Structure 1
Amino acid sequence: MSDDPHLTEHTLSREELLRGLFLHVVRDTVRLPDGGSATREYVLHPGAVAVVPLTDDGRIVLERQYRHPTGQVMIELPAGKLDAGESALVCGQRELLEETGYTAREWAYAFTMYPTVAYSDEAIQVWFARGLTLGEAKLDQGEFLDVFTATPQEYLAWCGNGRIVDSKTMAAAIWIQNVLAGTWKLDWQASPVPA
């Protein structure tokens, strides 16, 4: 930001450390605000979208999925990585259908979060979806998950008692609570592309 030059680092050079099927790790040499230099190793990420799907009876569609790095099954919102050139809304629509079988009549952007700012540039856009119609899920090869619904009260309680520990799912709880209370408003729009 232009008003933060006393905090801003400037990239001098970049070295590629790893380019795998999913991860791309780099090491930047940066000039620090005081003129010194340092290295920053981090993961480059194309971005992702998470969806808060609201059923007509006020429940939230969630997933249970095993996450290998943690060695445990996590409760999460439907979400996935942006494909090259894909808009966030199209990604959200695609992931909702692929993972849960649902399509949505209306969508609203809520917020963007950076789940791991110390070692990744990943940004996750969080969208709300309503007017759901259930169809058939189209899971990616090698993807296994259970889809279920929870009341907002159950969802919030699970965030509070440690049953939900996924960062995007926990961050969305603040929005769910405030949207349902009428404190925060969403700009709902009809789905612009056939889902």
Structure 2
Amino acid sequence: MQDKGNPWQVKHSEQVYQSPWIKVREDKVITPAGTDGIYSVVEFQNSAVGIVPIDEDGNTWLVGQWRYPLNAYSWEIIEGGCPIGEKAEDCALRELKEESGLTAKTLIPFLEMSLSNSSTDDQAIVYVAKDLQMGEAQPEETEDLQLVKIPLSQAYEYVMQGRIHDAISVAALLKLKQLAYF
């Protein structure tokens, strides 16, 4: 399997919107077919970081919260946004502490993914956190979180039942099952 070069040609690029979370740019392009076109791209100002804490008994923690863009409640692994310039490992440890109160001596990266490659540059990295110690959660003021501790196998069953539908959580739990973590 061999990667091909980029067949797109950018004639002009313009930023059309920016917030603390995203930038939107519009590119005037020549498509791979040789025709003129427009490609709009959402550039995220954070990368996504996910953490699956696993204790010595095979339990993990899920976070429940209302997801504003979806207008729905969502059960997920612990996740957060990693600002540009922050090391993903540092962000993962911070988010773990903030959302669950847990600290981890061991952090193992096991999944990297592009979340929507058709119109965004959104990237994610997911870690397994082990050698855990419980403390007090310190969620951000905009977060109204519910935290549950369950067997990792039950989290996998929730994925299979459709009760967990967050893309990062689904991919992480399915990969952990494939890697025989439980």
TM-score normalized by the length of structure 2: 0.91
Query: Do the aligned partners of 2:47 and 2:84 also contact (CA within 8 Å) in 1?
Result: no
Which residue does 2:28 correspond to in 1? Answer: 29
Detail structure 1 runs of 4+ shifted over 6 Å in the superposition: none
Query: Structure 1 residues 61, 10: CA separation in 2 closer, same or farther (over 3 Å shift)?
Result: farther
Give the match's secondary structure for 1:34: coil
Matches within 5 A, 1:164-175: 164-175=164-175
Give the match's secondary structure for 1:105: strand
Residue 8 (structure 1) shift: 3.3
Q: Deviations over 1:54-94 (max 9, x none)?
A: 12211111100100111111001111111231111111111
Residue 123 (structure 1) shift: 0.2
Residue 134 (structure 1) shift: 0.9
Letter in 2 for 1:36: T
Give the match's secondary structure for 1:86: coil
How far, CA to CA, are the matches of 1:85 and 1:181 in structure 2? Answer: 31
Letter in 1 for 2:81: K
Query: Do the aligned partners of 1:55 and 1:61 also contact (CA within 8 Å) in 2?
Result: no
How far, CA to CA, are the matches of 1:93 and 1:10 in structure 2? Answer: 40
- Higher strand proportion, which one? 2
How far, CA to CA, are the matches of 1:106 and 1:160 in structure 2? Answer: 28
How far, CA to CA, are the matches of 1:59 and 1:9 in structure 2? Answer: 47
How far, CA to CA, are the matches of 2:28 and 2:35 in structure 1? Answer: 10
Which residue does 2:159 correspond to in 1? Answer: 159
Query: Do the aligned partners of 1:53 and 1:130 also contact (CA within 8 Å) in 2?
Result: yes
Matches within 5 A, 1:108-187: 108-180=108-180
TM-score normalized by the length of structure 1: 0.85
Q: Deviations over 1:140-179 (max 9, x none)?
A: 1211101112212211111111111100000012221023
Which residue does 2:103 correspond to in 1? Answer: 103
How far, CA to CA, are the matches of 1:21 and 1:85 in structure 2? Answer: 14
Residue 42 (structure 1) shift: 2.2
CA RMSD of aligned residues (A): 1.8
Query: Do the aligned partners of 1:14 and 1:29 also contact (CA within 8 Å) in 2?
Result: yes
Is 1:89 aligned to residue 96 of structure 2? no
Letter in 1 for 2:112: T
How far, CA to CA, are the matches of 1:28 and 1:128 in structure 2? Answer: 38
**How many residues of Structure 1 are paired with residues of Structure 2 in the alignment?**
180
Which residue does 2:16 correspond to in 1? Answer: 17
Query: Do the aligned partners of 1:152 and 1:176 also contact (CA within 8 Å) in 2?
Result: no
Query: Do the aligned partners of 2:54 and 2:152 also contact (CA within 8 Å) in 1?
Result: no
Residue 181 (structure 1) shift: 5.2
Which residue does 1:40 correspond to in 2? Answer: 39
Give the match's secondary structure for 1:136: coil
More deviation in 45-54 or 35-44? 35-44
Q: Can you give the 5+ residue segments of structure 2 that lack an aligned partner in the other structure?
A: none
Task: Report percent identity of matched pairs.
Answer: 27
Query: Structure 1 residues 32, 130: CA separation in 2 closer, same or farther (over 3 Å shift)?
Result: same
Give the match's secondary structure for 1:159: helix
